[in-house]
């Protein structure tokens, strides 16, 4: 349990620092540096302030996701698979994906994906956001024997040109995987 609390606390602090930065700064299109995201971290814009515009975010960029590995923050003496063979797609802010869950069962996810913070660090681009949607493939978490349950996932992307690494947190697991922007 202490691992979970440590991870949750770290994620909350990281998110709060992003909220503060996003609250006081805006995203503007930029084309001269070849940034695939089309946005860069720049000056102050008064009309973009507020929690609602921040939480609404912008539709996540079109991407293909390949591979996913996880670490579970719970210690319940059950064996977990840590390689998940993810294949997924984000298109115009909607995501769809399938993978083998930690019990080796096929799982599916679908929903909205939003970026709430974008910046550049040297030649790297960094995006932070969330996914909210529905999942199928976890018997212990289904709602009313439907096989479906809600998904809320926070993520951070680090990208060089079109290729990158995504780190995320949902429930009791943190994950890492690769993606390509298109």
The answer to whether 65 and 177 have CB atoms below 8 angstroms apart is yes
User: Taking Cα atoms as reference points, which of 89, 72, 22, 92 lies closest to residue 51?
Assistant: 22
User: Taking Cα atoms as reference points, which of 4, 1, 2 lies closest to residue 170?
Assistant: 4
Domain CATH code at residue 111: 2.40.160
| Secondary structure letter of residue 140 according to DSSP | G
User: Taking Cα atoms as reference points, which of 64, 61, 36 lies closest to residue 180?
Assistant: 64
Range of the domain at 151: 2-181
Strands 148-160 and 163-170: antiparallel
Lowest-confidence segment of 71-75, 81-85, 140-144, 154-158 by average pLDDT: 140-144
* pLDDT for residue 165: 98
What integer is the mean pLDDT of 145-156?
A: 90
Which of the two residues, 36 and 53, has the higher pLDDT score? 53
What is the tally of structural domains in the chain?
1
User: Taking Cα atoms as reference points, which of 15, 2, 3 lies closest to residue 174?
Assistant: 3
Measure the CA–CA gap between 133 and 124, rounded to whole angstroms. 28
* pLDDT for residue 53: 81
The reported pTM is 0.70
Residue 3's CB: how many other CB atoms inside 10 A? 14
Which of the two residues, 30 and 53, has the higher pLDDT score? 53
Measure the CA–CA gap between 150 and 133, rounded to whole angstroms. 6
* pLDDT for residue 25: 42
Summarised one tens digit per residue, pLDDT across range 93-142 is 999 999 998 888 899 999 999 999 999 999 999 999 999 999 998 776 66
Measure the CA–CA gap between 170 and 142, rounded to whole angstroms. 15
């Amino acid at each position: 349990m202490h691992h979970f609390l440590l991870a949750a606390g770290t994620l909350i602090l990281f998110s709060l620092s992003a909220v503060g930065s996003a609250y006081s700064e805006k995203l503007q299109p930029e084309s001269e540096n070849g940034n695939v995201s089309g946005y860069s971290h720049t000056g102050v814009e008064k009309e973009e302030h507020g929690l609602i515009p921040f939480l609404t975010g912008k539709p996540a960029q079109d991407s293909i996701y390949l591979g996913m590995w996880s670490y579970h923050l719970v210690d319940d003496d059950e064996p977990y698979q840590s390689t998940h063979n993810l294949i997924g797609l984000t298109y115009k802010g909607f995501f769809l994906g399938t993978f083998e869950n930690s019990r080796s069962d096929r799982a599916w996810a679908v929903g909205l994906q939003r970026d709430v913070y974008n910046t550049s660090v040297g030649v790297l681009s960094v995006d932070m956001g969330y996914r909210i949607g529905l999942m199928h493939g976890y018997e212990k978490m289904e709602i009313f024997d439907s096989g479906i349950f809600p998904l809320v996932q926070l993520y951070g992307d680090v990208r060089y040109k079109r290729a990158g690494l995504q780190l995320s947190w949902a429930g009791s697991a943190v994950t890492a995987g690769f993606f390509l922007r298109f």
